[in-house]
Amino acid sequence: MVRLILKNLLRNKKRTALTVLSFGFSLFLLVALATFLNALINPPESDASILRLAVRRSTSLAEQMPLAYAERLKRIPHVADVMPLQWFGGYYQEPRNMLATLALDPKQFLEFFPEIETTPADKAAFVSERRGALVGPTIMNQFGWHVGQMITIKGNIFPVDLEIKIVGTYHNVEEENAIYINWDYLHETLGKPGKIGAFWVKADAKENVPGIAAAIDATFRNSPAETKTETERAFRLGFVSMLGNVKLIIGSIACVVVFTMLLVVTSTMAMTIRERMREVAILKTVGYRRIHILLMIVGEGLAIALMGWVLGYLFCVGLGHMDTNRMTQGFVPKFNPPAMIYALTMAVGLMIGLISGLIPGLQASALTISEAMRKLE
Amino acid sequence: MARIPIKYNLRYLAVRWTSTLTTALTFGLVVGVFVMVMSMVNGIEKALTTSGDPLNVLVMRKGVQAEGQSVVNIPQYETIRNFAGIARDARGTSLVGPEIVVLVNKPRVKTGALSNIQVRGVGAISYEVRPLVKIVEGRRPRTGLREIIVAKSLAGRFQGLAIGEHVRLGKGDWLVVGHFEAGRSAFNSEIWADYRELMQEFDRGEYNTVVARATGPAAVAQIKYQAENDPRIRLRGLTEEEYYNQQTASAGPIKALGLFLAVIMSIGACFAGMNTMYASVSSRVREIGTLRILGFTPQAILASFLIESIALSIIGGAIGCAAGGLIVNMLGRLPTGTMNIETFSEVVFYFTVTPTLLLRGMAFALIMGVVGGVLPAINASKQPILEALRQT
């Protein structure tokens, strides 16, 4: 039976190859969509990220709150540490060269975010240099910057320009296109207004996180600057939800892709079987039973789907080896779909293979010998 | 050189209608997805580009990309008020006024997910220079009161924005007194309030921008020149049209997604189309042989099969455009929203299909038809006559 399936597959090599290619491309697209959606709605969590909470003004992230809140936040039970955070943004030379500049406390930053990898020397320089900045490799490449260089970041949200010195770079699986600068330097440049955009708060234990969020917001309720405290995960998902119904759009596109694959493979299978009606009749005449015919055709569909999946997988692995970070300008730092998505798309692929074989297979196996003979063209 | 009649191809497509339909549907789905995604891009760009009035000049700080980032202080405003080239209304009032914008984070209707809405603090002049904004229910906010009006399309998308409801903006509650419509422009995604009240609410001592109505195109340049070169202010003037056009970058990621999808899907569809065409060539080997004996050249056969593939893709493209257009037409009645990257706030838009977009969809289908058909057509034209006829 397996030999029969293989023989049939190899009979029209061009057709099999084309179907497999078509299937492979579609599966690759499906993996890419699923990976993108997964990265958006399931930001990776680590032991460190689970303890982090973001505190901002309840009005919106664009409003500021008193810097003195830091001391009050530290006194809230189970708060292990509090770090100032201010989005500076800015641009380099031209407004279209937008930058993701974040001002924070250098020493606390590397304790809060152990996933940011940097060398001890770079770390020491970032902590000690007042104007020091850690710059992501993507940005370094984009503008051809090097460590030790002085850069002027023009302010857009704030009416000041910053003179920073690149003291080092960092690595992070999720993003490598930010610029981290010293909050004290920014605050001083602004003339010490005593206001800040947000705080990162670290909880002492995982189970205390929800309690802390509620306690912080209760502390500042009915004050001139009410706060909204969220876990890191919720904080990030907030940005995604602002993009609109991404889930629905990507989900429906994925459905269309699956349907297209189904259409392509099914029509190929139907085409193949139609041309082979006489053989089906002969096989039946020499004693093959209905179930054999069905299995043979379904097996062929499954084999095509499996080959298509392997091809799609190879595309994905190939893309994973390419510098997607540079190609997408930091939008996709690394294309590395989780195993779960490969497994899921394989299941979808095999399902399509099964259905595509089942429809013509049932038709062919149900035919009587004389009908099949008559169907010849 | 004799051409094979197109009727021959069309009849064949009709006889083999199942495989014609499935292949056309494959092309159609690709075109449909392309049309739908691009209609979002169109919608966002339209929402932003139709907002701008070429005679309204916004004066703002140099180097900023969004109104919210700009700062114009009161002495600067006093200077701008006396600029030459500013229009006057029937009562002789100079059409220039300060505005502020703030963001408020509010929950969406269905999901409760929070999103930013831009609140614009306006004066009476703001209504005069933006005739697009029309109150459709209720009334304008009164000066000196904590009252707001909300874009009608926004009221349906966020919780608690119906007339008569109280909304917390900064420190206190504000009463919704009206709903307005503003065509399909970016003002459709805003809440408007009296600027003095709003400045108090958010502890602002300065304005964000100043809007000035120019008397004509020449006055626009005049106002811009004064904004940039008056030594007392050193600001920048740009027309509303220019301001909103530079924000269309917000549609960039969706555009990239649309192109990525269309390219990858169309490669897959080309292979499927090739498959169908090869099958139809191999089932017509004898016919091809007969055509050759009748005197048709290999070139004529090649052209004929290519035309058949193109016809297939045109059917597919038509299906895709029709289906995509139909769905978009249904969706298009409802506003939908995404984040404006520049202002960091919700921009409401409508899916928009244009004739150009449909033509681009058809062009896409045509390319797929040619790419998918060329190899099988060459294959057909190279069939040796004698062997072809000998085949049973």
Residues B384 and B288 in one domain: yes
Q: Which residue of A has its CA nearest to B275?
A: A15
Q: Do A244 and B338 touch (CB under 8 A)?
A: yes
Residues B81 and B122 in one domain: yes
Residues B305 and B158 in one domain: no
Which residues of chain A have a CB within 8 Å of the CB of B171? 224
Q: Do B170 and A243 touch (CB under 8 A)?
A: no
In this structure, the strands spanning B96-107 and B147-151 are unpaired
pLDDT digits (tens, 9 = 90+) for B224-271: 999 999 988 889 999 999 999 888 877 877 888 888 888 898 999 999
Residues B228 and B179 in one domain: yes
Residues B40 and B66 in one domain: no
Distance from CA of A60 to the nearest CA of B (A): 5
Confidence of residue A261 (pLDDT cuts 50, 70, 90): confident
In a domain, B142, yes or no: yes
Which residue, of B178, B209, B234, is where some domain finishes?
B234
Confidence of residue B391 (pLDDT cuts 50, 70, 90): low
Comparing CB atoms, the residue among B23, B264, B271 nearest residue A18 is B271
Confidence of residue A376 (pLDDT cuts 50, 70, 90): low
Checking if the pLDDT of A360 tops 60, the result is: yes
What residues have CB less than 8 Å from A356, skipping those under 6 apart? A262, A265, A266, A268, A269, A301, A304, A305
Q: Do A267 and B169 touch (CB under 8 A)?
A: no
Residues B26 and B139 in one domain: no
In a domain, B54, yes or no: no
Q: Residue A285 has what pLDDT? A: 87
pLDDT digits (tens, 9 = 90+) for A76-101: 999 999 999 999 999 999 888 889 99
Total structural domains within chain B: 2
Residues B188 and B79 in one domain: yes
pLDDT digits (tens, 9 = 90+) for A24-58: 999 999 998 898 888 888 877 888 889 999 999 98
In a domain, B311, yes or no: yes
Q: Which ipTM value was assigned to this complex?
A: 0.82
Residues B15 and B157 in one domain: no
Q: Residue A331 has what pLDDT? A: 64
Q: Residue B149 has what pLDDT? A: 97
A 164-183 residues with CB < 8 A to B: none
Residues B309 and B173 in one domain: no
Residues B70 and B102 in one domain: yes
Confidence of residue A310 (pLDDT cuts 50, 70, 90): very high
Confidence of residue A161 (pLDDT cuts 50, 70, 90): very high
Among A152-156, A178-182, B290-294, B388-392, the range with the most confident prediction by mean pLDDT is: A178-182
A 105-164 residues with CB < 8 A to B: 154-157, 159
What whole-number percentage of chain B has pLDDT above 90?
58
In a domain, B260, yes or no: yes
pLDDT digits (tens, 9 = 90+) for B303-359: 999 999 999 999 999 999 999 999 888 877 778 888 887 788 888 888 899 999 999
Comparing CB atoms, the residue among A28, A224, A256 nearest residue B171 is A224
Q: Does A245 touch chain B (CB under 8 A)?
A: yes
Listed as own residue / partner, the contacts of B381-387 with beta carbons closer than 8 Å and 24 or more positions apart are B381/B298, B381/B299, B381/B301, B381/B302, B381/B305, B382/B298, B383/B281, B383/B285, B383/B288, B383/B289, B383/B292, B383/B301, B385/B289, B385/B292, B385/B293, B386/B289
Range of the domain at B261: 6-49+249-390
In a domain, B55, yes or no: no
Residues B187 and B262 in one domain: no
In a domain, B243, yes or no: no
Residues B271-293 have a mean pLDDT of 89
Residues B230 and B352 in one domain: no
What whole-number percentage of chain A has pLDDT above 70?
97
A104 φ, ψ (degrees, to nearest 5): -155, 180
Checking if the pLDDT of A139 tops 80, the result is: yes
Q: What tokens appear for A204 in the block?
A: 């002492």
Residues A145-149 have a mean pLDDT of 95
In a domain, B270, yes or no: yes
Burial zone of B159 (CB within 10 Å; 0-12 exposed, 13-18 middle, 19+ buried): middle
Residues B201-209 have a mean pLDDT of 92
Smallest CA-to-CA distance from A62 within B352, B339, B375, B261 is with: B339
Q: Residue B91 has what pLDDT? A: 92
In a domain, B1, yes or no: no
